[in-house]
């Protein structure tokens, strides 16, 4: 709850009471209903594996890179997936440069747990030479603006970047067949990652001793809410992870209500991500055709003779 404590001082007592009183009437300060999500915008850079997601006033940029490394000893045939977060003071004055704070660590862990424990990314397909060379996939998440609910926005940015990333194709050569040859994109088309499903993080805020529940809390709502719960589910309704922080315990009926709401919202967010990725892939293919035309010139004179 570091983020809540850091920005709560900006709101006066009257502001906090106004937010709580409005929620009792199922009114939110931005005009939304309790279970209404903010508008999501997904954009991509020209390079593969780059995304920028805007959720209301929250903006997060995701970047995926890869390099060949030696695998872990206990998993010699699996690649490595790691997540790093950067909280810039330009996004929020409460963020301090340097060592990651509690909020940055929690955000990275929630996204990592949703991806890793659900095995959304096929890490075995990242193995090039068992025990010697595997691809290490790194996801960097940069917080550009903090308008609240960083977890959900960062999770979407990570998924969008993963779906548009392509790693170089490799082959084995040499006299003993143990030499790894990395082919440049001009020689062989890079390969996309194998992603089985999309674990979508949906966050809820609790107010007034857990009696009031809202989805996708804003920055000001986070400053006065008593607790948060993030449920990570996919479009099929599979539960990938649940994270509860702050506040008191949540009754089972409330958890089930959150899961139902999260599953419904995850399906629409999944469709939005896939639609945006499809548009990017189409534009990428067109750019490639313009750079490398497949048609060749024909000598008309030779053909006539």
CATH of the domain at 44: 3.30.230.70
Percent of the chain at pLDDT exceeding 70: 90
User: Residue 176 pLDDT > 60, yes or no?
Assistant: yes
Q: State the Cα–Cα distance between residues 201 and 153, nearest whole angstrom.
A: 9
Q: What is the mean pLDDT of residues 17-34?
A: 90
Number of structural domains the chain divides into = 1
pTM, entire model: 0.89
Does residue 26 belong to any structural domain of this protein?
no
Does residue 48 belong to any structural domain of this protein?
yes
Rounded (5°) CA angle 290-296-298: 145
User: Residue 88 pLDDT > 60, yes or no?
Assistant: yes
More confident residue, 254 or 292: 254
Residue 2 near residue 104 (C-beta atoms within 8 A): no
Does residue 251 belong to any structural domain of this protein?
yes
Q: What is the mean pLDDT of residues 5-28?
A: 78
User: Residue 81 pLDDT > 70, yes or no?
Assistant: yes
More confident residue, 65 or 290: 65
pLDDT number for residue 11: 76
- 137: nearest Cα among 185, 191, 186: 191
Q: What is the mean pLDDT of residues 268-277?
A: 97
Distances (CA, A) of 214 to 50, 118, 233, 247, 292: 31, 26, 18, 14, 51
pLDDT class for 210, splitting at 50, 70, 90?
low
User: Residue 296 pLDDT > 70, yes or no?
Assistant: no
pLDDT number for residue 92: 81
Does residue 160 belong to any structural domain of this protein?
yes
pLDDT class for 291, splitting at 50, 70, 90?
low
Instruction: Find the domain containing 235 and state its range.
Output: 37-289
State the burial class of residue 20 (Cβ atoms within 10 Å of its Cβ: 0-12, 13-18, 19+): middle
Does residue 294 belong to any structural domain of this protein?
no
Residue 150 near residue 144 (C-beta atoms within 8 A): no
- 53: nearest Cα among 63, 45, 43: 43
pLDDT number for residue 304: 41
pLDDT number for residue 293: 53
Does residue 303 belong to any structural domain of this protein?
no
Does residue 103 belong to any structural domain of this protein?
yes
How do 191-192 and 166-167 pair as beta strands? antiparallel
Q: Work out whether the CA dihedral 108, 112, 115, 117 comes out positive or negative.
A: negative
Does residue 1 belong to any structural domain of this protein?
no
Q: State the Cα–Cα distance between residues 167 and 50, nearest whole angstrom.
A: 13
* Average model confidence (pLDDT) across the chain: 87
């Amino acid at each position: 709850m570091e983020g809540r404590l850091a920005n709560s001082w900006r709101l006066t007592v009257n502001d906090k009471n106004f937010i709580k009183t409005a929620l009792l009437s199922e009114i939110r300060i931005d005009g939304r209903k309790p279970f209404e999500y903010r508008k999501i915008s997904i954009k991509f850079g020209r390079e593969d594996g780059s995304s920028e997601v805007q959720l209301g006033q929250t903006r997060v940029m995701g970047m995926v890179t890869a390099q060949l490394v030696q695998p872990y000893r206990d998993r010699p045939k699996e690649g490595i997936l790691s997540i790093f977060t950067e909280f810039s003071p330009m996004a929020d004055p409460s963020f301090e440069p340097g060592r990651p704070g509690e909020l940055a660590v929690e955000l990275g862990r929630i996204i990592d747990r949703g991806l890793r424990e659900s095995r959304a990314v096929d890490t075995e397909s990242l193995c090039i030479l068992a025990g010697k060379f595997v691809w290490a996939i790194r996801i960097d998440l940069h917080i550009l603006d903090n308008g609240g609910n960083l977890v959900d926005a960062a999770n979407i940015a990570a998924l969008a970047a993963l779906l548009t990333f392509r790693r170089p194709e490799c082959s084995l050569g040499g006299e003993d067949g143990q030499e790894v040859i990395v082919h440049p994109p001009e020689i062989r088309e890079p390969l996309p990652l194998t992603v089985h499903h999309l674990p979508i993080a949906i966050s809820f805020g609790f107010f007034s001793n857990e009696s009031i529940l809202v989805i996708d809390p804003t920055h000001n709502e986070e400053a006065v809410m008593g607790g948060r719960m993030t449920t990570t589910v996919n479009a099929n309704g599979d539960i990938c992870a649940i994270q509860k922080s702050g506040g008191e315990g949540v009754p089972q009926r409330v958890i089930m209500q959150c899961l139902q709401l999260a599953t419904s919202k995850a399906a629409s967010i999944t469709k939005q991500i896939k639609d945006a990725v499809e548009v990017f892939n189409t534009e990428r293919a067109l750019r490639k055709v313009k750079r490398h035309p497949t048609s060749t010139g024909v000598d008309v004179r030779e053909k006539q003779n």
